[in-house]
Every structure is written in C-alpha cells, then in structure tokens.
A and B are shown apart, each in its own frame.
Chain A
Amino acid sequence: MTADGRARVLIIAGSDSGGGAGIQADVKAVTALGADAATAVTALTVQNTLGVTGVMETPIDFIAEQMRTVFDRYGVQGVGALKSGMLHSVDVIDTVADLMREAGASLPFVLDPVMVAKGGARLLREDASQALIDRLLPRATVVTPNLPEAEVLTGMKIASLDDMIRAGRVLRRQGASAALVKGGHLTGDRLFDVLVCADGVAVFEDSRLETRHTHGTGCTTASAIAAGLAQGMTLVDAVARARVYVRTAMETAPGLGAGHGPLNHAHPLRNDRPTLSCFASGRR
C-alpha cells in the first residue's frame, strides 16, 4: 500500500494502439486487479493483431520527465511497484535505471524483458540486451522472460523444464532476485512456468490452451504481478494470481482482429454491481 492508500504501479513501457499489449494491457490488468496505474510511455507503436507497422520513440528526456512527475506528484511512497516493458535502446535502459536510482527507494520492480513483438517486430536493439542485464536485472524483484528471451539473457539453449530451472538460477546469479521463466514456447500438452526465487523453485503447471488470442500475455502477466506486489502480496502469491488472471483472460478473449487477438482484461467484473434504471427500451 502507498501513501494515499492506493496500490499504484508505475508502468514504463511502449504503447500498443491495438489495445492488446504494452501500456494498454498493463493499465487494463492493473485496473482489473484493483490497483491504480500510472505510466511512462517509452514509444508509440502503430500496431494491431497482425503486427507493428510503425514506431515513434519518445524523446529520452521525456521518458525521464514522466517518471519524475509520477514520483514527485504521488511521492515515492505513492508508487507501490514498478513494471518495465519495451525499453528499445541502451539510452532508454540507462535513463530508466538512473531514474530508479534517483527515486532512491527499493521499490518492487517487475522486469519484463520485451525483445520481440508477437508479430515478430524487434522491440529491443541487439546491443541493448547487455545493458538490460547490467543495469536493470540487478534491480529486478522478478524478471519474467519467455523462453526466447531467457535464451538471449542467459546465453543458454532451453528445451526442457530442467533447462528452464537452470536458466532461472542463471538469471538469479546475474542479479535478479527472482526469475519467472515462462514455458509457453515448449511443445506438449502441459504448460510449465517456473519461479526460481530465494524460497526455492516453484513449478506452475496447466493444460495448454490452443488459441490465437495471445497478444499481450507477457505484458499482462508482468503487470498483474506488479499489481500484486504493490498490493503487498508475496511474490509467489502475486505470480499465482497473475497466472490465473491471464489464463482466464485468454479463455474468454473477445476474438478481435485477424491475427493474434487481445485478451479479455475485464473478466473479473463483479456480477453483483449496482443497478440503474434503463430509460429507452431496446437498442440504439
């Protein structure tokens, strides 16, 4: 909880015009899990379910200005957790790391090492992976790579559950407090995610969902974890809730677009909401 009693997540990520990933997924997920979201937009992507067709990068100093404004206005105590997504270049990574140090607090920080968009567009320059490892991994409460991202970060080839556990341990040695290695890219009927943390190794297991509506699952998982940390949950509880939230969001996806469709971020809506009088009968 924060100074004003609102669990708030500061999201540092790109904007996805299609509403399925990026800060859009983040803001929706954080809201649906009962926390408040503030944002520092790192880039505007022109994007839909088929892919990315354009990127406008935010001026570096303005990424800093957004973060500084949120820290100044809500207070550092008014921010309960940080979550980062698309940080396309070394300069952006350095700026975000500097601002985190400037804020001075050891805030919970969820690092989603976004590298490639669902449609294949590269969102992190090749030379930036090392900066991510050097500057941000040591600050991460948890890093949340999928398998291709974990391979880039660790230099390992990951082809099994055992490899995932090993990769998680490497990521901890590289400085992250914990690693959630997501196994969606492995084949097989069962789906495994592995959380390697100070308490040991936790394995989350589910049946595999066959769906094309997977746009923004990584962003959504990371921000759902950040919302839990801002709300004072333990890491393992925050991860457990985030996974159930994302899975239901995939299962109830609205089926929009011709490619990788967005999730249903609103599925936790209560069914005992207030009633209003309806004036006009029928529809518009």
Chain B
Amino acid sequence: MIDQACKPGQMPLPTSLCGRVLAVGASDAMGRGGVQGDMKTLTALGVFCATAVTGLIADLSRAPAASRIVDVPAETVAAQMASVLDDIGADVIKTGWLRHADVIEAVAEQVERKAGRALLVVDPDMLAPGGAPLLDAAAIQAFKARLLVKATMLTPSIGEAAVLTGMSIDSVDDMVQAAMMLTTLGPEVIYLKGREIFGDTVTDVIVTDGEPHILEAPRLHAPRTTGAGTALASGIAGGLARGLKPRDAVELARLHVREAIIAALGTGDLNPLDHGYAFARVQGSAPRWLTEEGER
C-alpha cells in the first residue's frame, strides 16, 4: 500500500483510508484502551483495523486489582489472528495486552508465519496502573525470547522500559541509555514514552538506525491520560501501515494524540481523548413521508 498523502516536507494528517493493522490486545469495555482504543485511533488515522482479542476486561485502567479479566485461550487468539492474516492480511501487527506465556507463544507463531510481510509493533503492556507487574516470570521470559526478537518497533513507557532493562530511569539521560539498551533485545526502533517524568515538558526518546533522538513537547494539562499510551502505539502502527518511516509514524501518532487530547479538554476526566475532531459532519438525505392512505 502506498500513502499518496506522504510527501517529504509537510504532510497533513491522513484524509483517506490506507493500510491495514491487526491489533492484538484486550477488550476494554470502557472503550479507552485495548482494541477499542486501537480502533478509534486507527479510524481517525484512516487505517483499517482488524483485531485479535486476548482478554475481556470491564475497565482496563483498574485491572487486574479492581476489574476482573476473562482470559481468552491461546488457540482462540491464534485462530482470530490466522483468520485475519489469511484473508484480509495486515501491513502491521500491533500487540498490546499479552499476559500469559502460552498466548505470547501463539502470537509469536502467527507473526512468524507472516515474517517479512507484516511489521510487528510491540506495546509492552506489562504493568498495571500503580506499577504492579501484569506478567509472571515465565511470561516475561516468553515475551523477550519469542516476541521482542521479532519486533520492528517497541513502544514502552518508562516503567515498562525499567522492567525490561532492569535499570532505574529518572532522567532524560537514563531514558536514552535504556532505549539504546532495548535495541539489543531485538527491535530496530524504540519509542520510549516519557510522560511519567514530571515537568512542563514531555520528553520522549526514539532510537532509529542506532541513533537516539529526543522529542519534546509542552505538557498538556489534561486531567488524566488513560488511553493515550495505547493511542500512541496504535497511531505509530497506523503510520507504518500507511508506509511511513518510523520517525514519521511517531510524529503522526504524537500529533494526532495531541489533537485528540486538546479536543477532549473540559469534557471531564474519564475519557481524555476525543478522536471526533478528525471527522467532518455527515449530512443525511431526507426521506419521503407517506400520507395515511399511502401516496403511491
């Protein structure tokens, strides 16, 4: 697929449909994270999204402590992926919530089947809000040994990067060091999301071609940012599916998420992203009313 909107220099956010992403992750009934967050983001970026659901959760932001999880068996995850990959296809496979070693193994096998045809973006959903680990040791081992080694791109938060590297990350210098270390685990590109380090500037680090780049943006004082991390990762997957290079895919995702946060400002703190800004109003066309007897 070729993105006609992509020209060197200036590029508008997408205005038409291009590219396919298979989102592998949890279903979040609240609609903020998980595959719902993926679908909202990707639709707003003009990218087709299919899904393989790995677990059903009522409120992803409170799981697992205060929201029950219905795990989906590994073979059902694999069947959903195969069903999509063998018919619709995917330019990018994006993974999120993967909690068990057997599910990670099944996902890795499906990715392997399409090696060379679909890129893999891994958003390592490893920590509950508050920092408790979501994956046990066997799952972390499978995640590193089976999935990370196949990833084109990894999009961790600071907490997740700390778990994966064993480093303590407290500064931008630490972020650069951790991101460089993560490239040794397999992914060619690392996008390390820095919003957990407080200050008026949000600093993210991207490593491409072995070189770190620092991306800064003024912090938006949105109430909370539930769903923003997912939206960044799926936006990046969407950019890659549209044929952008990783650095541009990251810029695309950052600009969209920023616009979606701005659009939601002042609408309460439960859903801080509003993707609706991306769409024009659709005009209906009026019907013909029949009289009591019928006019025909």
Contacts and interface: CB of A to CB of B under 8 A. Distances in A.
Contacts of B73: 56
Contacts of B52: 17
Contacts of B51: 15, 17, 19, 24
Interface in A217-246: 236-237, 239-245
A77 to B, nearest CB: 11
Contact of B284 (A237, A269, A281, A284): A237
A59 interface: yes
Given A39-B27, A265-B43, A277 B287 contact: no
Nearest to B58: A69
Contact of B31 (A33, A36, A65, A256): A36
B199 interface: no
Contacts of B281: 34, 268
B2 interface: yes
B211 to A, nearest CB: 12
Contacts of B296: 161
Interface stretch (A41-49, A91-99, A130-138): A41-49
Given A37-B40, A205-B288, A256-B48, A283 B3 contact: yes
A252 B17 contact: yes
Given A24-B39, A66-B58, A243-B285, A280 B44 contact: no
B17 A267 contact: yes
B276 A38 contact: no
Interface stretch (B80-88, B97-105, B127-135, B169-177): B80-88
B294 interface: yes
Contacts of B47: 266
A283 B11 contact: no
B287 A204 contact: yes
Contacts of A35: 276
14 contacts: A18-B83, A24-B39, A24-B49, A38-B30, A70-B30, A73-B30, A201-B290, A236-B286, A271-B12, A273-B12, A278-B10, A280-B245, A281-B8, A283-B3
A144 interface: no
Given A6-B274, A37-B31, A18 B247 contact: no
A276 B255 contact: yes
Interface of B: 2-3, 6-17, 20, 27, 29-31, 36, 39-40, 43-44, 46-53, 56, 58-59, 67-68, 70, 72-73, 76, 79-81, 83-84, 86-89, 240, 243-248, 251-252, 255, 259, 264, 266-268, 270-271, 274-276, 278-292, 294, 296
Nearest to B249: A284
Nearest to A252: B17
A18 B84 contact: yes
A65 B69 CA distance: 11
Contact of B29 (A38, A54, A59, A205): A38
Contacts of A258: 87
Most chain-B CB neighbours within 10 Å: which of A18, A38, A66?
A: A66
A234 B129 CA distance: 41
B56 A27 contact: no
A275 B10 contact: yes
A19 B48 contact: yes
A282 to B, nearest CB: 7
Given A24-B51, A78-B270, 10 more contacts: A5-B267, A6-B274, A35-B276, A48-B86, A65-B68, A74-B30, A199-B289, A203-B287, A240-B284, A256-B89
Nearest to B10: A275
